[in-house]
Structure 1
Amino acid sequence: MPYRSLESGKYGMRASALAPWRHGRAAGRLDEPADGVASPVDTERGLAAHLRYLTASGAGYEAMDTAGIAVTPRTLAAWPAEDRTPSRANLRRIDAAYRDLRRRNVVRSLIRRLNNGGRGTRVELHPHDQSGVRDQHRRAGVAGHRSVNVRRWDAIVRTWAAGDERALDEEWTDEVLADLGSDWGGYEYATGVGFAA
């Protein structure tokens, strides 16, 4: 494979303001099917749902501990009952703990859905925006969006769940971009990534 771009903004290349993704971060779109609770944590309903999910298992308590939530069981019980309100910092920690636990809990089902019985899932990639790049500096061979059928999602989903962006970047390159051939570098920074999970 060709070398990777180290300076994404050099010569005026830019990713979309809506999706300035390095290719591996594009797999962060997996957050959408993994989200679970629709209500934000700073609403009564959202807080209750987040805490119900977190307090239903030992893994949830571990996730809260890892996120830095250090409160007494009495305080934890008082939050959803609205006897006390968590600080903004604790709301952020509750949300982080919830997302961490939710990611770990949906790994198997996401892998099964995306692998699709060996048929895989089609991914549509839109290249970086070269409209501000002078002709002599434009990357050749980047015509428009490309579609790739990804058959092996196991490593991508597991590194996404672990929150390891560097490993996710490697897996995305190996499992998705490698199928684009020699012009994969034009899709290293994506303005859009779409797939149905």
Structure 2
Amino acid sequence: MPYRSLEPGKYGMHGTRASALAARRLDELADGVVSPVDTERGLAARLRYLTASTAGYTAMDTAGITATPRTLAAWLAEDRTPNRANLRRIDAAYRDLRRRNVARSLTRRLNNNGRGTRVELHPHDQSGVREPHRRAGVAGHRSVNVRRWDAIVRAWAAGDERTLDDEWTDEVLADLGSDWGGYEYATGVGFAA
């Protein structure tokens, strides 16, 4: 495993773990409310989503929101606005609940009845690396068809970055053959669902 025991940015290489870029893309696919949490519309939509189910109240508890029912009612009625810390917690609770709620649907769409989804990978940027230290054999962008998304989406929905990275390496990067290390850190990961 080429980069797991090395310092990837040591010689000037730039990139982000491909699994983290995949998590960002999954977040984009799962995102429901576009308005920021600090706008009236964004806050109202998140609070309605969170207070519509028992799971939403659990997500708020997990995020550390300790508002009384009276305070929650005032937030929902837009009579009061949460402080910045509670706004961050509300957004975190919303994203956590949204991830868990859309995971099954997202997995089904990405698995595409066994046909999978095409993933485009753009390798790390070596432009700042001096020639003797450059990784040889890293081509431009590569595409791979990923047929099994269950474990990847499950790890993403749970917020388990380490398991997500392991699953991404096993299900996606392994299909690149011996060149997989050039894509462990990437400048872009793209796929649709």
TM range (shorter): over 0.9
Cα distance between partner residues in 1 of 2:124 and 2:18: 5
**What is the deviation of 1:38?**
1.3
Q: Distance in 1 between matches of 2:127 and 2:53?
A: 51
**Structure 1 pair 175/160, CA: closer, same or farther in 2 (3 Å)?**
same
Match of 1:185 among 165, 170, 181: 181
**Cα pair distance change 1:17/1:193, threshold 3 Å:** closer
The residue matched to 1:79 in structure 2 has which SS? Answer: helix
Residue 3 (structure 1) shift: 5.6
Per-residue Cα deviation, 1:167-191 (whole angstroms, up to 9, x for no partner): 1000000000000000100001010
- Provide the alpha-carbon RMSD of the alignment: 2.2
Deviation string 1:54-89 (CA, Å, 9 cap, x unpaired) is: 001000000000000001101101012121110000
Distance 1:16 1:191, change over 3 A: farther
In the superposition, the TM-score normalised over structure 1's length comes to 0.91
Instruction: Judge conservation of contact 2:119–2:189 (CA < 8 Å) in 1.
Output: yes
Q: 1:11-39: per-residue Cα shift (whole Å, max 9, x none)?
A: 11199999xxxxxxx33310001110111
CA contact (8 A) 2:11 2:129 kept: yes
**How many residues are aligned here?**
190
| 1:171 equivalent among 162, 167, 183 | 167
Q: More displaced, 174-183 or 33-42?
A: 33-42
Question: What percentage of residue pairs aligned between the two structures are identical?
Answer: 90
Range that drifts further, 134-143 or 185-194: 134-143
Q: Give unpaired runs (5+ residues) of structure 2.
A: none
Note if contact 2:12-2:128 (Cα within 8 Å) is conserved in structure 1.
yes
Moved more, 1-10 or 172-181: 1-10
SS across alignment from 2:28: helix
Structure 2 distance, partners of 1:175, 1:117, is: 17
User: Which whole-Å CA distance do the structure 2 matches of 1:131 and 1:84 have between them?
Assistant: 51
Relative to structure 1, is the Cα distance of residues 16 and 70 closer, same or farther in structure 2, using a 3 angstrom cutoff?
closer
Distance 1:166 1:15, change over 3 A: closer
Choose which of 140, 147, 157 in structure 1 pairs with 2:143.
147
Moved over 4 A (4+): 14-18
Does the residue aligned with 2:19 lie in a helix, a strand or coil? coil
- Is the 2:138–2:182 Cα contact (8 Å) retained in structure 1? yes
User: Are the equivalent residues in 2 in contact too, given 1:15–1:128 (CA < 8 A)?
Assistant: no
Q: What's the CA shift string for 1:136-191, capped at 9, x where partnerless? A: 11111101100000000000000000001011000000000000000100001010
Describe the shift of the 1:162–1:147 C-alpha distance in structure 2 as closer, same or farther (beyond 3 A): same
Secondary structure at the residue paired with 1:17? helix
Deviations 1:81-105 (A, max 9, x none): 1211100000000000000000000
Change (3 A) 1:17 1:187: closer
Distance 2:98 2:87 in 1: 16
SS in 2 for 1:132: coil
